[in-house]
Amino acid sequence: MRKVLVELGDRSYPVLIGAGARHELGPVLPRSARKAAVVTQAPIGVQVETGLEQTTIYLGEGEEEKNLASVERLCREFARFGLTRADVVIGVGGGVVTDVAGFAASVYHRGVPVVYVATTLLAQVDAAIGGKTGVNLPEGKNLLGAFWQPAAVLCDTEVLSSLPPREYRSGLGEMAKYAFLGVSDLPKLGIEEAVARCVECKAGFVAADERESLNVAGGPRAARPGRDRALLNYGHTLAHALETVGDYDLRHGEAVAIGLVFAARLARALGRIDERRVAEHEAVVASYDLPARIPAGTDAEGLVKAMARDKKATTGALTFVLDGSRGLEVVPGAPAEMVRRALDEMH
């Protein structure tokens, strides 16, 4: 069992990684808790025992559950159960569960403790770590949310064997991102070590820039280990647009993989990297058997408008995390025509 500490002063918390990690739930629960509201989805099928009086609340399936109606329903269930600020919410599942359960925990009684039992690869390497919670609007993904750090995260690698192949590959899309954030040799590592390395990387960024406070207007900033948290969004600007505009039947990690290749092509068009570096992005994505092109019939103008609403766009200009000679940087003010040209190359 591996343990990674997300260091945030008196709000620091452990991430436990390994086979059977879910069975370590009892010891990481807040001592004040007398009741536990377990939020999950029926197909997940992972049972947890808290040793407390507990109730289980089921979300529906799919990204469409990430909405304010789901948050309201959870909070009303918490109230009917008699959950207090001293108790705990436990999210058991993937990114949809952690995002919605975490957001509900952050606003119920103005904040109750939350613990995550991450059951998907995507949640274990990314979604469950770092305290970002949120739901979607028709206008964009994750436009409503809060920073609410969990009390602990349990990444049980044992349950990954039951994931459908496509769901597992979706997690590999987030893992591919870490190859450009300084985590090397991921495909050569065992799953426990690979997850731990990704968690260590993300924990460093979160500890140094918990609320993306470094992501402000004022020109590109180079990647520094454990700095500028916005760099963790590499590949996500197009990914979120693809998930918002149209119905392209893409898992989140698949959209991120496409977004990584797009970001490389846009960086090349802006003179930041050369063709060799673009080929490296293509190779990493291909090594995980992930898509590298946008679906046929994509609404390019719709994607450009959606990308302009991305959370990184602090000035309203098109803003991307892009590769360059100094590493990854947040680059505001990308010309719309170059963005469209790079999209044309992605078909």
Asked whether residue 208 is assigned to any structural domain, the reply reads no
Closest to 267 measured CA to CA, from 282, 283, 278 = 278
Whether the CB-CB separation of 266 and 342 falls below 8 Å is answered with: yes
The pLDDT score that the predictor gives to residue 87 is 98
Number of independent structural domains in the chain = 2
Q: Please give the helix or strand (H or E) that residue 159 lies within, else none.
A: none
Pairing, β 140-147 against β 53-59: unpaired
Does position 121 have pLDDT exceeding 60, yes or no?
yes
Overall average pLDDT of the 65-85 stretch:
98
The pLDDT score that the predictor gives to residue 225 is 43
Question: Same domain for 146 and 235?
Answer: no
Asked whether residue 185 is assigned to any structural domain, the reply reads no
Distance CA 60, CA 307 (A): 28
**Is 164 exposed, middle or buried (CB count within 10 Å of its CB: 0-12, 13-18, 19+)?**
exposed
The residue that leads in pLDDT, 219 or 205, is 205
Question: Same domain for 138 and 218?
Answer: no
The pLDDT score that the predictor gives to residue 141 is 87
Distance CA 78, CA 89 (A): 9
**Domain C-terminal end among 163, 195, 226:** 163
Does position 168 have pLDDT exceeding 70, yes or no?
yes
Residue 121 belongs to what domain range? Answer: 2-163
Give phi and psi for 240, each to the nearest 5: -65, -35
Question: Tokens 């997850």 sit at which residue?
Answer: 195
Does position 226 have pLDDT exceeding 60, yes or no?
no
The residue that leads in pLDDT, 133 or 313, is 133
The pLDDT score that the predictor gives to residue 320 is 96
**Is 224 exposed, middle or buried (CB count within 10 Å of its CB: 0-12, 13-18, 19+)?**
middle
Overall average pLDDT of the 181-185 stretch:
93
What percent of the chain stands above pLDDT 70? 94
Closest to 262 measured CA to CA, from 175, 345, 333, 318 = 345
9: left (phi over 0), alpha (psi -120 to 50) or beta: left
Residue 84, helix vs strand vs coil: coil
Question: Same domain for 223 and 330?
Answer: yes
